[in-house]
Amino acid sequence: MKFFIDTANLDQIAEAEQLGVLDGVTTNPSLMAKEGITGTENILKHYVDICNIVDGDVSAEVVATDFDNMVKEGEELAKLHDQIVVKVPMIKDGVKALKYFSDNGIRTNCTLVFSPGQALLAAKAGATYVSPFLGRLDDISTDGLNLIAEIRQIYDNYGFETQILAASIRHTMHVIDCAKIGADVMTGPLSSITGLLKHPLTDIGLEKFLADYRKGNS
Ligand code: E4P
């Protein structure tokens, strides 16, 4: 399972990268705004800054919603760096754009996916990644994990190569559950990655090992 971090915060990206387990980064317009990154020039520069920190795919989202402008924007984003994956929303023109990008060798991440039918369309259009939003479904009392499982089954039935990128991950149990189901990638906040480290028995055990060592070596 690949680990992506879902943030535009350079310090957090660097921290995850230094841990040695980071495979990529996802961003979206809200995450960019949260970091105060505004204006086309600053936004494009920020994507390059992210690519220079992480050794892996970096999703950069188009903000156009019509085919022509999505293509124009996506081509500009893809030219920024070879790690860039163009993030395209699951709307009608988005599906057309996914197909265009796929035919033209530009990698894509189909975002805002909330149903198996949308995921099937994204795969048919040749998306590199599909992003089902697990946490946002859980937020409205709908089983987000079940969506991941349904997409896994559909993709396996037909051998689609589109990778399932479990998005809107909120905590460590989402990560574990997605790994059990067989999601190819997860993207979440830094805490969903570092939280996997924690177990009280590890801390207690280490404390005891070190205390015993000190007893015999002081
Ligand atoms: C996916 O790529 C999105 O950026 C993201 O995972 C959305 O997560 P949220 O629901 O926590 O905003």
87 is catalytic: yes
3-state secondary structure of 129: strand
Which CATH number is 10's domain given? 3.20.20.70
Distance, in Å, from the CA atom of 70 to the CA atom of 156, rounded to the nearest integer, reads 30
Q: What is the pTM of this model?
A: 0.96
Q: Is the CB of 7 under 6 A from ligand 1?
A: no
pLDDT in tens, 166-178: 999 999 999 999 9
Task: Using pLDDT thresholds of 50, 70 and 90, give the confidence band for residue 106.
Answer: very high
Rounded alpha-carbon distances, angstroms, from residue 192 to 168, 169, 198: 11, 8, 11
Complex-level ipTM? 0.96
Q: Ligand 1 test: best mutation among 7, 63, 168, most atoms within 8 Å of CB?
A: 168
Q: Is the pLDDT of residue 218 over 90?
A: no
Provide the number of structural domains found in the chain. Answer: 1
pLDDT at 97 exceeding the cut of 90: yes
Antiparallel, parallel or unpaired: β 108-113 and 185-188: unpaired
For residue 148, pLDDT beyond 90: yes
Domain that holds residue 193: 2-216
Mean pLDDT, the chain, whole residue set = 98
State the catalytic residue, choosing from 45, 79, 87, 215.
87
Using CA atoms, how far apart are residues 195 and 209, in angstroms rounded to an integer?
23
**154-165 pLDDT per residue, tens:** 999 999 999 999
